[in-house]
Amino acid sequence: EVQLVETGGGLVQPGRSLKLSCVASGFTFNNYWMSWTRQAPGKGLEWVASITNSGGSTYYPDSVKGRFTISRDNAQNTLYLQMNSLRSEDTATYYCTRGGTHGVMDAWGQGASVTVSS
Amino acid sequence: DIVLTQSPALAVSLGQRATISCRASQSVSTSSYNLMHWYQQKPGEQPKLLIYDASNLASGIPVRFSGSGSGTDFTLTINPVQADDIATYYCQQSRELPLTFGSGTKLEIK
């Protein structure tokens, strides 16, 4: 069974940093692209970052480019999201997702809640 | 960025057909694939993939769910609707970066 378990969420002040982790199991981690997608309270879904299976390339939307960094440790089956210079608008539940073919997100974690507030 | 437009809500009766639409601001199809995907999100849960590449049923998804469309116009159909289908449905395109989602259609029971 595919499992994605996010940790590291919490309350953080504006301008500070936070790092999320996602431990994967039930599949061959290094065969898949991975992504983070977030959902602000009561709002829709927003793609945040993607990384290739080797970790050699990463992709971001303009809203987080330069502030967020996605990375992975294939030996530990773990995906990361380093979030710097956090803003109130980054408040959301952050989902770790597995990338299927053609950019689809075919498995989702339960989410990690991040609140940016003073 | 490719903008995906969905109606906010749809009310249907149990046992009837629900048709949820998603319109893209530009084509999300290539010569080989229609790069539109559909997800279901129940309250308090993470999203779940229903349909990929416009018309392919994801693993474990009941056959009452189906998808169609190409270019800029796509449809998710649920037939017949069951009480367990109450959820918000999102479309997502992967034709180009940034990956984008529609704003979601909330399915309600009449």
Among chain B, residues having any CB pair with chain A shorter than 8 Å are: 33, 35, 37, 39, 46-49, 52-53, 58, 90, 92, 94, 97-104
Q: Which residues of A touch B53 (CB under 8 A)?
A: 102, 104
Strand B4-5 to B18-24 pairing: antiparallel
Is residue A111 a contact partner of residue B47, using CB atoms and an 8 Å limit?
Answer: no
Q: Which of residues 31-90 of A touch B (CB under 8 A)?
A: 35, 44-47, 50, 59, 61-62
Residue A77: closest CA among A7, A112, A27, A13: A27
What pLDDT, on the 0 to 100 scale, is given for residue A103? 87
Give the mean model confidence (pLDDT) for residues A79-100: 96
**Nearest-angstrom CA–CA distance, A31 and A86:** 31
Judge: B94–A103 Cβ closer than 8 Å, yes or no: yes
How near does any CA of chain B get to the CA of A42, in Å?
A: 10
What is the pLDDT confidence band of residue A100, given thresholds at 50, 70 and 90?
confident
What is the mean pLDDT of the segment spanning A53-72? 96
Nearest 5°: CA angle at B46, between B44 and B47? 120
Whether the pLDDT of residue A88 is over 90: the answer is yes
Planar angle of CA B19, B20, B24, nearest 5 degrees: 135
pLDDT score of B69 more than 90: yes
Residue B60 neighbours by CB under 8 Å, 6+ apart: none
Q: What is the pLDDT of residue A38?
A: 98
Percentage of residues of chain A with pLDDT beyond 90: 97
Whether residue A86 contacts residue A18, with contact meaning beta carbons closer than 8 Å, is answered with: yes
Look at residue B19 and tell me whether its pLDDT is greater than 90. Answer: yes
Q: Side chain identity at A67, as an amino acid letter?
A: R
- Confirm or reject contact between A107 and chain B (CB < 8 A): yes
Q: With contacts defined as CB-CB under 8 Å, which chain B residues touch A102?
A: 33, 35, 52-53, 94
Q: Does A110 touch chain B (CB under 8 A)?
A: yes
Query: Radius of gyration over alpha carbons of chain B, in Å?
Result: 13
Strands (E) across B1-110 are located at 4-5, 9-12, 18-24, 36-41, 48-52, 56-57, 65-70, 73-78, 88-93, 100-101, 105-109
Indicate if the pLDDT at residue A101 is higher than 90: no
Interface residue of B28, B46, B50 to substitute, partner A, most A CBs within 10 Å: B46
Asked whether the beta carbons of residue B52 and residue A46 sit closer than 8 angstroms, the reply is no
The CA distance from B95 to A113, in Å, is: 29
At position A116, the amino acid (one-letter code) is V
Q: What is the pLDDT at residue A102?
A: 82
Cα distances from B16 to residues B8, B81, B90, B104, B110, in angstroms, run: 19, 6, 20, 20, 10
pLDDT at B60 over 90: yes
Q: Determine the pLDDT at residue B11.
A: 97
